[in-house]
């Protein structure tokens, strides 16, 4: 491999000749040989947005020349579009402020500009990575800013549309089966009737609430600490920089970001990310139940519950011919479990650091972005490859409903709890129907029984 020599404040360092990063990045690669995880590309590209917005704000305030403004804007545009992705080799597991990644960005942009200007990489000409690319900024305020940009963009552009698709499919199932009465179950035991449509409708209501929770959580993320520099005081910035920079961020993203009133809070703590992670965990809890209910209801097909039939996507066993498993539900379940685990890491990260700086920023955003991706990917796959193809086994549903002892609940207002329980116990012990038990006990006539024990009426309020 060919190398070039670059310098930083600690001296000379060898840098791969074909890489745009410089000495500070090379040191970080050497000093953090931890794990296989790299900084998510969503963060790198969000940094392009911030660097572009910062130089435009600095130019508007008369702090940088038009030549440097144009160069930095162009290089930052390439960063935003993903053209420079290969030049960010630092491990995720670095300093808790994300400083190494910010310096990596500064160096890549400065060296890309050197290429554009036709001068030697590492010369820090025509722009300097710290003095120009990083002007009016610190890692401490830019990193939480790009965390917010990345999280907001991923939730709005990726996760919310996936959840909306899930909501629509659940609504279709709720409407299709609104009149199909089935056995309800509580404690995994037979309970009073419900329609299959009502069962799907409950899931639809849950995802509807989660969508609203997600939207609400983004309001707090959209308060950016950019302009606070090292500790939130705005040292080395000109008054008004934050507002101008955020204006240019919004022109680039159209997301409605705002400059945080208290920038120290956005640097020292990340409560808004802990909040978002909690909503993602709530979504995971819902999806886990959806996955497990799918598995239970489809279990069998002959020796389980078997009330629904799921699509046959692939063979389910290497030894049992013809076996089909609820694989999409299992994948959804596992992704949900990982998201719950990620939330624990985010909670610990959110409480970490001292005084004016949280020092678990890479940990927090890595887990949040992974959670968003896992929830979105697993939900989209489940929706497409399982939920959309679910069909009710109406024969099985009717069989269970007919044999359910809990239909006796409809008699509580008529003959009381004790007599109703006696009917259920007699039917169970004698292996006879509820009607037969009621008639043998003499508590109701056949006409009275059929009047009051109507499964369809039991799926709604039914006392006159």
Tell me the mean pLDDT in the region 359-376.
Answer: 98
Tell me what pLDDT residue 308 has. 98
Query: To which residue do tokens 């300093």 refer?
Result: 95
Helix (H) or strand (E) holding 392: strand 391-392
101 marked ligand binding residue: no
Tell me what pLDDT residue 462 has. 80
- Tell whether 328 and 373 lie within a shared domain: yes
Tell me the mean pLDDT in the region 318-335.
Answer: 96
Tell me the mean pLDDT in the region 263-286.
Answer: 98
Count the neighbouring beta carbons within 10 Å of the beta carbon of residue 136: 25
324 marked ligand binding residue: yes
Asked if the structure places residue 173 within a domain, the reply is yes
The band of 463, judged by pLDDT with boundaries at 50, 70 and 90, is confident
- Tell whether 149 and 292 lie within a shared domain: yes
Tell me the mean pLDDT in the region 300-327.
Answer: 95
- Tell whether 8 and 121 lie within a shared domain: yes
- Tell whether 304 and 448 lie within a shared domain: no
In whole angstroms, what is the distance from residue 208 CA to residue 197 CA? 16
Asked if the structure places residue 11 within a domain, the reply is yes
Q: Write the CB contacts of 394 (distance below 8 Å, at least 6 apart in sequence).
A: 180
Count: domains in the chain: 3
Tell me the mean pLDDT in the region 4-18.
Answer: 94
139 marked ligand binding residue: yes
For residue 139, pLDDT beyond 80: yes
- % residues pLDDT > 70 (the chain): 100
Q: Which of 195, 209, 218, 219 is nearest to 167 (CA)?
A: 209
323 marked ligand binding residue: yes
Which CATH number covers residue 272?
1.20.200.10
- Single out the residue in 101, 117, 135 at which a domain terminates: 135
- Residue 161 tokens read as 């549309």
- Tell whether 78 and 23 lie within a shared domain: yes
Tell me: the pLDDT tens digits for 143-177? 999 999 999 999 999 999 999 999 999 999 999 99
Of the residues 91, 285, 299, 317, only one is catalytic, namely: 317
Q: Do 136 and 237 form a contact (C-beta atoms < 8 A)?
A: yes
For residue 231, pLDDT beyond 90: yes
Count the neighbouring beta carbons within 10 Å of the beta carbon of residue 353: 18
Tell me what pLDDT residue 44 has. 98
- Tell whether 35 and 95 lie within a shared domain: yes
- Tell whether 382 and 425 lie within a shared domain: no
Tell me what pLDDT residue 364 has. 98
Asked if the structure places residue 318 within a domain, the reply is yes
99 marked ligand binding residue: yes
- Tell whether 236 and 99 lie within a shared domain: no
Tell me what pLDDT residue 1 has. 81
For residue 306, pLDDT beyond 80: yes
Domain that holds residue 317: 141-181+197-391
For residue 464, pLDDT beyond 80: no
Q: How far, CA to CA in Å, does 143 sit from each of 34, 225, 226, 425?
A: 20, 9, 9, 66
- Tell whether 293 and 274 lie within a shared domain: yes
Asked if the structure places residue 247 within a domain, the reply is yes
- Tell whether 262 and 327 lie within a shared domain: yes
For residue 83, pLDDT beyond 80: yes
Asked if the structure places residue 187 within a domain, the reply is no
Q: How far apart are the first and last CA of the chain?
A: 86
The band of 271, judged by pLDDT with boundaries at 50, 70 and 90, is very high
Q: Can 371 be counted among the known catalytic residues? A: no
For residue 6, pLDDT beyond 80: yes
Q: Report the Cα 320 to chain-centroid distance in Å.
A: 36
Asked if the structure places residue 98 within a domain, the reply is yes
The band of 46, judged by pLDDT with boundaries at 50, 70 and 90, is very high
Tell me: the pLDDT tens digits for 181-192? 999 999 999 999
Q: Can 317 be counted among the known catalytic residues? A: yes
Which CATH number covers residue 419?
1.10.40.30
Tell me what pLDDT residue 171 has. 98
Asked if the structure places residue 17 within a domain, the reply is yes
User: How high is the mean pLDDT of the chain?
Assistant: 97
- For the chain, helix, strand, coil in percent to 5 are 60, 10, 30
130 marked ligand binding residue: yes
- Tell whether 84 and 153 lie within a shared domain: no
Asked if the structure places residue 397 within a domain, the reply is no
Of the residues 136, 187, 217, 404, only one is catalytic, namely: 187
């Amino acid at each position: 491999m060919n190398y070039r020599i670059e310098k930083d404040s600690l001296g000379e360092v060898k840098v791969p000749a074909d890489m745009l990063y410089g000495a500070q990045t090379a040191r970080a690669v050497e000093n953090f040989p931890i794990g296989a995880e790299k900084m998510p590309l969503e963060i790198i590209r969000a940094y392009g947005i911030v660097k572009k917005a910062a130089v435009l704000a600095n130019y508007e305030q008369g702090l940088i020349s038009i030549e440097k403004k144009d160069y930095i804007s162009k290089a930052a545009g390439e960063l935003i579009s993903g053209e420079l992705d290969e030049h960010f080799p630092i491990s995720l597991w670095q300093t808790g402020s994300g400083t190494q990644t910010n310096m990596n960005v500064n160096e890549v942009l400065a060296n890309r500009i050197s290429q554009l200007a036709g001068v030697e990489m590492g010369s820090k000409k025509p722009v300097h990575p710290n003095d120009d690319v990083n002007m009016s900024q610190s890692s401490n305020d830019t990193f939480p800013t790009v965390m917010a940009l990345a999280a907001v963009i991923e939730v709005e552009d990726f996760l919310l549309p996936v959840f909306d698709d899930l909501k629509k499919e659940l609504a279709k199932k709720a409407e299709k089966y609104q009149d199909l009465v089935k056995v309800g179950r509580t404690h995994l035991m037979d309970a009073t009737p419900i329609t299959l449509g009502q069962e799907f409708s409950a899931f639809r209501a849950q995802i509807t609430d989660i969508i609203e929770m997600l939207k609400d959580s983004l309001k707090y993320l959209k308060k950016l600490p950019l302009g606070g520099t090292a500790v939130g005081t705005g040292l080395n910035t000109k008054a008004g920089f934050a507002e101008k920079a955020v204006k240019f961020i919004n022109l680039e993203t159209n997301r409605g970001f705002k400059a945080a009133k208290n920038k120290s809070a956005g640097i020292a703590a990340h409560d808004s990310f802990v909040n978002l992670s909690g909503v993602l965990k709530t979504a995971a809890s819902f999806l886990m139940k959806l996955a497990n209910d799918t598995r239970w209801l489809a279990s069998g097909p002959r020796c389980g519950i078997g009330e629904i039939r799921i699509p046959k996507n692939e063979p389910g066993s290497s030894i049992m011919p013809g076996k089909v498993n609820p694989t999409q539900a299992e994948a959804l379940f596992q992704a949900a479990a990982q998201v719950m685990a990620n939330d624990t890491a985010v909670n610990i990260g959110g409480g970490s650091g001292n005084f004016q700086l949280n020092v678990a920023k890479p940990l927090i955003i890595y887990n949040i972005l992974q959670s968003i991706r896992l929830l979105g990917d697993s939900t989209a796959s489940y929706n497409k490859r399982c939920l959309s193809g679910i069909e009710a086994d109406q024969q099985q549903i009717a069989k269970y409903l007919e044999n359910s002892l809990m239909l006796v609940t409809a008699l509580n207002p008529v003959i009381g709890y004790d007599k109703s329980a006696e009917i259920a116990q007699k039917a169970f012990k004698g292996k006879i129907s509820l009607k037969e038990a009621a008639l043998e006990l003499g508590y109701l006539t056949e006409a009275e029984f059929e009047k009051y024990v109507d499964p369809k009426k039991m799926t709604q309020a039914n006392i006159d």
